[in-house]
Amino acid sequence: MTFEEEIKRRRTFAIISHPDAGKTTLTEKLLLYGGAINVAGAVKSNKIKKTATSDFMEIERQRGISVATSVMGFEYQGKKINILDTPGHKDFAEDTFRTLTAVDSVIVVIDVAKGVEPQTEKLVKVCRMRKTPIIVFINKLDRDGKDAFDLLDEIESKLGIKVRPLTWPIGMGHDLKGIYNLYKRNLLLYTPNSTERVSETVNISEIADPELDNQIGAEDAEILREEVDLVESVYPPFDRDVYLNGDISPVFFGSAINTFGIQELLQCFLDIAPCPLPKASEERIVDSFEEKFTGFVFKIHANMDPKHRDRLAFVKVVSGKFKRNTNYKHIRLDRNLKFSSPTAFMAEKKSIVEEAFPGDIVGLHDTGNFKIGDTLTEGEIIHYKGIPSFSPEMFRFINNADPMKTKQLAKGVDQLMDEGVAQLFTMQTNGRKLIGTVGALQFEVIQYRLKHEYGASCNYENHNVHKACWISCEDKAQLEEFKKVKYRSMAKDKYGRDVFLADSAFTIQMSEQKFPKVKFHFTSEFED
Ligand code: G4P
């Protein structure tokens, strides 16, 4: 197979949802179709359960398991599919945001009864920022849920995306008869609890075909005809280019647990989802078909065994072919590194690979050289953009609780921050270290890991911060003036950028009025 063919057959994507909508179940069913796993339940173990919110030991254990399922690659109908797993737990949202920088498209799962939930909104917002193509899967059709048209309206208004249904439900809950495939023009009949990979499909050449009445009854056939008419008149015809541009999202209905409507989704996904896309770096846009290797680190996973403190850095190959035992330039360190055991991920298995193509994820063993966002190339100076930090929501000072272990604490904090467990801010007044996280759980995880992996002890002290704002200003004098006035609330992030720690929304509002040229950003990635 040629290099171009290898790239064109790759589909790298993530499934995102609010917890409990059915992401894990859908992932598993896709893997079953791909023949990558044989039994349901294989992926479940990866899930960080809701019940574990206060049990971080359990979360650590599950994190260990999740290394294996962080990336699930499999072959299906000549395509190489890479599913990037995202933690459903909201305290790990930052992890999910970063994973989204490494995918070429996403499938959003929505619960038919619950509709659009808060976590879905947040994640889709990040996708919209990057114009990532989105496919929507409305799950749990075997339960009574919202009216399909109402749900589509809700998706459009809450998620800010335009939709185009490609399958349509016939009934719902107890009355679920099947779905009509608007794309392939056939009927899929529903058989509850089907563990079969293929449900029964009936070809209906046109919606007026009397065979439809025979299959689902005259009454339902009539309703379906009316609804399909309405769909065709309300929604524009599906256009792949518009989808690839992130401007329209095809919608599928089904029930993941019943393996119903999944094949329709997968088939269409294979037809329309993009192969690895060009990626912007600070210097230029890099096309995936370029011959020279480039890639970036989007995730770092610590080894769970404290005796071997190596880590696994996940690199997305953006362009060229990545080869084992070859020297690559680590741009930030300005050093050549070579990797003797790069790992590829196929379903539940990890294996050492000789080469990897754009779209693939390779795991590199690391002894502390990598930070999230690092770029590797064959020599060209390129810095990939777009691993943003978002303003954390909780802030605590970290204090050393064991003066004999100061060095270990500093090293541990440093490495945990490189992994992206939390964000570290250094106060400009006195150099105190402030840790910011998305959820309370991270503080426990940090404390636990510092103790067990680095032998260091720490305690925390609450600090009232509403938001961390990255600031920019065209007017240098005004910026300096602002920094002087707000001296006590100024800190540096880990890259040395200025961050204003506002104690309330009101403070930000007042600052905006007083310093009209200073701009306040809630993510570290912004256009000036
Ligand atoms: P998540 O990863 O998005 O958090 O969701 P997950 O797949 O774990 O699904 C959440 C719950 O919803 C699970 O039930 C799962 O069995 C159920 N579910 C998934 N798809 C469907 C569907 O199509 N119809 C119905 N009725 N339920 C569905 P649970 O009781 O929380 O877990 P479990 O005990 O079944 O594992």
* Same-domain check for residues 171 and 316: no
Q: Is the CB of 144 under 6 A from ligand 1?
A: no
Residue pLDDT tens, the chain, 528 long: 899 999 999 999 999 999 889 998 898 888 888 776 665 555 555 454 444 444 555 655 555 555 555 788 888 999 999 999 887 666 677 778 888 999 999 999 999 999 999 889 988 988 998 899 999 999 999 999 999 999 999 999 999 999 999 999 999 998 899 999 988 888 888 876 655 555 567 777 788 888 888 888 899 999 999 999 999 999 999 999 999 999 999 999 999 999 899 988 999 999 999 999 999 999 999 999 999 999 999 988 876 555 666 788 999 999 999 999 999 999 999 999 999 999 887 766 678 889 999 999 999 998 889 988 899 999 999 999 767 777 888 999 999 999 999 999 999 999 888 888 899 999 999 999 999 998 888 898 899 889 988 899 999 999 999 999 999 999 999 999 999 999 999 999 988 899 999 999 999 999 999 999 999 988 776 544
Question: What's residue 161's pLDDT?
Answer: 94
Specify the 3-state DSSP secondary structure of 392. Answer: coil
Residues 183, 232: contact at Cβ < 8 Å?
A: no
Token pair for 400:
């050393």
Report the distance separating Cα 333 and Cα 321, nearest Å: 22
For the purposes of burial, counting CB atoms within 10 Å of the CB of 69, is it exposed (0-12), middle (13-18) or buried (19 or more)?
Answer: buried
Look at phi and psi of residue 205 and say left if phi exceeds 0, alpha if psi is from -120 to 50, else beta.
Answer: alpha
The pick from 20, 50, 90 for probing ligand 1's pocket by mutation, whose C-beta has the most ligand atoms within 8 angstroms, reads 20
Residues 359, 12: contact at Cβ < 8 Å?
A: yes
Question: What's residue 438's pLDDT?
Answer: 82
Q: Give nearest CA residue, ligand 1 atom 32.
A: 20
Kindly give the distance from the C-alpha atom of residue 26 to the centroid of ligand 1, in angstroms, as a whole number. Answer: 9
Residue 373, domain CATH: 3.40.50.300
Q: Is the CB of 199 under 6 A from ligand 1?
A: no
Q: Give nearest CA residue, ligand 1 atom 19.
A: 22
Residue 108 lies in a domain: yes
What values do phi and psi take at 111, rounded to 5?
Answer: -80, 125
Residue 126 lies in a domain: yes
Question: What's residue 72's pLDDT?
Answer: 86
Report the distance separating Cα 147 and Cα 153, nearest Å: 10
Look at phi and psi of residue 342 and say left if phi exceeds 0, alpha if psi is from -120 to 50, else beta.
Answer: beta
* Same-domain check for residues 354 and 494: no
Residue 327 lies in a domain: yes
The pick from 23, 43, 109, 257 for probing ligand 1's pocket by mutation, whose C-beta has the most ligand atoms within 8 angstroms, reads 257
* Same-domain check for residues 21 and 147: yes
Q: Give nearest CA residue, ligand 1 atom 22.
A: 140
Specify the 3-state DSSP secondary structure of 8. Answer: helix
* Same-domain check for residues 302 and 402: no
C-alpha closest to that of 320 among 285, 294, 286:
294
Atom of ligand 1 nearest to the CA of 25: 7
Which residues share a beta bridge with 137? Answer: 109, 252
Q: Is the CB of 20 under 6 A from ligand 1?
A: yes
DSSP 457-504: -EEEEE---SEEEEEEES-HHHHHHHHHHTGGGEEE-TTS-EEEEESS
Q: Give nearest CA residue, ligand 1 atom 11.
A: 20
Atom of ligand 1 nearest to the CA of 27: 7
* Same-domain check for residues 511 and 439: yes
Q: Is the CB of 27 under 6 A from ligand 1?
A: no
Domain stop point among 272, 293, 319: 272
* Same-domain check for residues 373 and 420: no
Kindly give the distance from the C-alpha atom of residue 57 to the centroid of ligand 1, in angstroms, as a whole number. Answer: 24
* Same-domain check for residues 373 and 441: no
State which H helix or E strand residue 26 sits in. Answer: helix 23-33
Residue 367 lies in a domain: yes
Kindly give the distance from the C-alpha atom of residue 336 to the centroid of ligand 1, in angstroms, as a whole number. Answer: 46
Kindly give the distance from the C-alpha atom of residue 74 to the centroid of ligand 1, in angstroms, as a whole number. Answer: 23
* Same-domain check for residues 425 and 479: yes
Q: Give nearest CA residue, ligand 1 atom 31.
A: 20
Residues 295, 363: contact at Cβ < 8 Å?
A: no
Neighbours of 32 (CB within 10 A): 19
Q: Is the CB of 17 under 6 A from ligand 1?
A: yes
Pairing of strands 249-253, 105-111: unpaired
Domain stop point among 225, 256, 272: 272
Q: Give nearest CA residue, ligand 1 atom 9.
A: 22
Kindly give the distance from the C-alpha atom of residue 257 to the centroid of ligand 1, in angstroms, as a whole number. Answer: 7
Q: Is the CB of 272 under 6 A from ligand 1?
A: no
Question: What's residue 274's pLDDT?
Answer: 97
Residue 507 lies in a domain: yes
Question: What's residue 56's pLDDT?
Answer: 54
Residue in the structure block whose two tokens are 């007042």? 510
Domain stop point among 272, 295, 325: 272
Widest CA span of the chain, in angstroms? 83
Residue 457, domain CATH: 3.30.70.3280
Residues 112, 151: contact at Cβ < 8 Å?
A: yes
User: Position 362: which residue type?
Assistant: V
Q: In sequence order, what are the residues at sequence separation of 6 or more whose Cβ sits closer than 8 angstroms to the Cβ of residue 251?
A: 135, 136, 137, 138, 152, 155, 163, 164, 165, 166, 167
Residue 213 lies in a domain: no
Residue 217 lies in a domain: no
* Same-domain check for residues 113 and 16: yes
Treating both helix axes as pointing N-terminal to C-terminal, what angle do 148-159 and 218-234 enclose, rounded to 10 degrees?
30
Kindly give the distance from the C-alpha atom of residue 274 to the centroid of ligand 1, in angstroms, as a whole number. Answer: 28
Q: Give nearest CA residue, ligand 1 atom 14.
A: 20
Question: What's residue 203's pLDDT?
Answer: 75
Kindly give the distance from the C-alpha atom of residue 155 to the centroid of ligand 1, in angstroms, as a whole number. Answer: 21
Kindly give the distance from the C-alpha atom of residue 47 to the centroid of ligand 1, in angstroms, as a whole number. Answer: 11
* Same-domain check for residues 475 and 506: yes
Give me the domain span that covers residue 353: 279-377
Q: Give nearest CA residue, ligand 1 atom 24.
A: 140
Q: Is the CB of 521 under 6 A from ligand 1?
A: no
Each residue's pLDDT tens digit, 411-434: 999 988 888 889 999 999 999 999
Atom of ligand 1 nearest to the CA of 17: 3
Specify the 3-state DSSP secondary structure of 278. Answer: coil
Token pair for 460:
């925390």
Atom of ligand 1 nearest to the CA of 26: 7
Domain count, the chain: 3
Q: Is the CB of 143 under 6 A from ligand 1?
A: yes
Q: Is the CB of 18 under 6 A from ligand 1?
A: no
Token pair for 192:
């509850």
Residues 359, 104: contact at Cβ < 8 Å?
A: yes
* Same-domain check for residues 304 and 323: yes
Residues 293, 321: contact at Cβ < 8 Å?
A: yes
Specify the 3-state DSSP secondary structure of 32. Answer: helix
Report the distance separating Cα 227 and Cα 391, nearest Å: 44
The pick from 18, 23, 24, 25 for probing ligand 1's pocket by mutation, whose C-beta has the most ligand atoms within 8 angstroms, reads 25
Kindly give the distance from the C-alpha atom of residue 520 to the centroid of ligand 1, in angstroms, as a whole number. Answer: 40
Question: What's residue 48's pLDDT?
Answer: 46
Kindly give the distance from the C-alpha atom of residue 273 to the centroid of ligand 1, in angstroms, as a whole number. Answer: 25
Report the distance separating Cα 191 and Cα 215, nearest Å: 13
Report the distance separating Cα 275 and Cα 64, nearest Å: 30
* Same-domain check for residues 161 and 15: yes
Question: What's residue 49's pLDDT?
Answer: 46
Residue 187 lies in a domain: no
Report the distance separating Cα 118 and Cα 337, nearest Å: 42
Q: First and final CA of the chain: distance in angstroms?
A: 44
